[in-house]
Amino acid sequence: MSHRDATLFSSDVASLAAPNFLLDGVINFVMAHMTTKLGDESLLLVSPSVASLLANLQDYEPEAGPPISGPTPQQSNGYDCGVYLLAVALAICRWWKKHPRTEEAAPCWFESVMDEVSAESVAAMRLNLAQEINLELIKQGDTTSSSSSSWPSSSSRQ
């Protein structure tokens, strides 16, 4: 199954079952969906591979300002880091859609992340992603070109 430039293989889908690390294909796929459903001209989501490339090019680029850092929920097991990444990204996107786009407001999303992301919400998100992807695969007869499912929703909580 694919969406934009992100393709899911059966091994990616299998990684949705706990206790597995999410494979990069799942993260790229969900980030592509978030970009479609929640992104706009003021919000740019980049895939983990692009973020890695940009991180390695930092020494060659002019200073862009200090990174924003703050509290984040901590995972309670050794395998949900990818799901936490997606849950935090989704919480920030939801906050961004509801609030003003100013530099002063940027750190205010910390509270939303801490309120929305927990071990329980991450477990629910993993289950929801697995169900939605499997339903989409069934709908598409496991032969896909482009997905049009409604997740991740900007209004539903994971």
Q: How confident is the model at residue 105, as a pLDDT?
A: 61
Q: Answer for the pair 10, 37: CB distance below 8 angstroms, yes or no.
A: no
Q: What pTM, to 2 d.p., does this model score?
A: 0.77
| Average pLDDT of the segment spanning 28-54 | 79
Comparing 150 with 26, the larger pLDDT belongs to: 26
Check residue 154 and give its pLDDT: 42
Q: What is the DSSP letter of 74?
A: P
For domain 2-139, the question of CATH label 3.40.47.10 is answered with: no
Q: What is the pLDDT of residues 10-35, one digit of tens each?
A: 899 999 998 999 998 899 888 888 88
The answer for 45, left when phi > 0, alpha when psi is -120 to 50, beta otherwise, is: beta
Backbone angles phi, psi at 131, to 5 degrees: -65, -45
Summary count for the chain: helices (H), strands (E)? 6, 2
Q: CA geometry: angle at 113 spanning 106 and 51, to 5°?
A: 65
Domain boundaries, the chain: 2-139
Q: Is the pLDDT of residue 144 over 50?
A: no
How many angstroms separate the CA atoms of 143 and 103, rounded? 44
Q: What is the pLDDT of residue 73?
A: 95
- Residue range 75-131, pLDDT digits in tens: 999 999 999 999 999 998 888 888 766 666 656 789 999 999 999 999 999 999 999
Alpha carbons 112 and 117: distance in angstroms, whole number: 8
